[in-house]
Structure 1
Amino acid sequence: MRWGLAAAIGRGARRIVCSDPDFAAWPLDDAALHEQLMAWLRLPQRRLVLFAASYDAMPRLHPRFVTWRTPWIHAVEAWAPAEGDAAEVPRVLVDDGDVFVHLRDAENWLGRAGRDAAQAQRWRDVLDARIAGAESSFAPRPLGL
């Protein structure tokens, strides 16, 4: 996933979509990653899109990312499947060009990563369809009374 983010940012992607059931294994709390993302998000028309089945563990597993995301809420979207959407959330990173990472087996870290426009387009189609029917999720600040 680090390679995918670095490759997408390096090639000047305007949109990066990251999908995972809960983002537990992602390096989202890494300070160097935050610096890379900030430099990228400062460029015009950049968008980081997150799609997860649940964001419940994020504050516990990635507290720095949760805090970092708050001032970037205008450029970092978070989506969750709509209620009743029982399809599995894939572990995928894809940009708007040819970069893709697909983790098929998270337990054994088996998957594919590369720069293949056709493969990236296939994943964009899958994720865009899922996000089109999704609900906005993962509020930047917890609500409370």
Structure 2
Amino acid sequence: MSQESESGKGTPALALPLGRLEGRQVFADLVRQAMVCAAREGWTHIVLSDADFADWPLGERVVVDALQAWAGRGRHIQFMARDFGPLRQLYPRLVQWRVTWSHLVQAHACTSLVGTELPSAIWSPGWTLERLDTLRCTLVASVDARRRLALKERLDTCWAMGSPSFPATTLGL
């Protein structure tokens, strides 16, 4: 199945896997592929959501290079987590990228959410990935409009319950 790219050029979307998938390596590979696809297709808006991103490959050069290639005018990325501490400690490349591109990045800590209330997901206007079970790492990747809308509504609710976090700079006293 092909779909129009976000850039509007009518090129087929990168063949990101679709359907129900399972496994930590599969998840990590999909995160990498999604970021590369976002850069290539010029996704305008990305949401990355997870309790703490501890098992995401966000510090890898391929991911940060893809985000670097993606970053530009008209782009926007949102990060949501219960705790950004692990992200700061584990992914210094991503933290530096966030400093450089702070005008494209918003981040909210959703500390009041418990359990699976905060989705572990990637959302874009054309494709989504959601981990349904983080322990067993079962996930669903989809281009279905209803699934994208339902996930976006859940993410927006979480966003509204959160507060700004993960600043680009930390001022010391």
**TM-score after normalising by structure 2:** 0.74
- Cα distance between partner residues in 2 of 1:5 and 1:119: 20
Report the TM-score when normalising by structure 1. Answer: 0.87
Q: Which residue of 2 aligns with 1:90?
A: 119
- Structure 1 consecutive aligned stretches of length 4 or more whose deviation exceeds 6 Å: none
1:121 aligns with 2:153: no
| Structure 1 residues 45 and 5: alpha-carbon distance in aligned structure 2, compared to 1, 3 A threshold | same
Count of residue pairs brought into register by the alignment: 142
Query: Which amino acid in 2 is paired with 1:53?
Result: R
Q: What is the root-mean-square deviation of aligned Cα atoms in Å?
A: 1.8
Q: In structure 2, what is the Cα distance between the partners aligned to 1:47 and 1:11?
A: 14
Would you say 1:47 and 2:60 are equivalent positions? no
Mapped contact 2:82–2:113 kept (Cα < 8 A): no
Aligned residue number for residue 35 of structure 1:
65
Report the CA distance shift for 1:33/1:86 in structure 2 as closer, same or farther (over 3 A).
closer
Q: Structure 2 matches for 1:42-81, cutoff 5 A?
A: 42=72, 44-81=73-110
Equivalent-residue separation in structure 1 for 2:67 and 2:112 (angstroms): 33
Report SS of the residue matched to 2:150: helix
Quote the sequence identity (%): 30
Residue of structure 2 equivalent to 1:131: 159
Unpaired runs of 5+ residues, structure 2, are 1-30
Q: Give the partner amino acid of 1:62.
A: Y
TM superposition shift of 1:76? 1.3
Counterpart check, 1:19 vs 2:49: yes
**What displacement does 1:132 show?**
2.5
Q: SS of the counterpart of 1:57?
A: helix
Q: Structure 1: where are the runs of 5+ without partners? A: none
Q: Please say which structure displays the higher CA radius of gyration.
A: 2
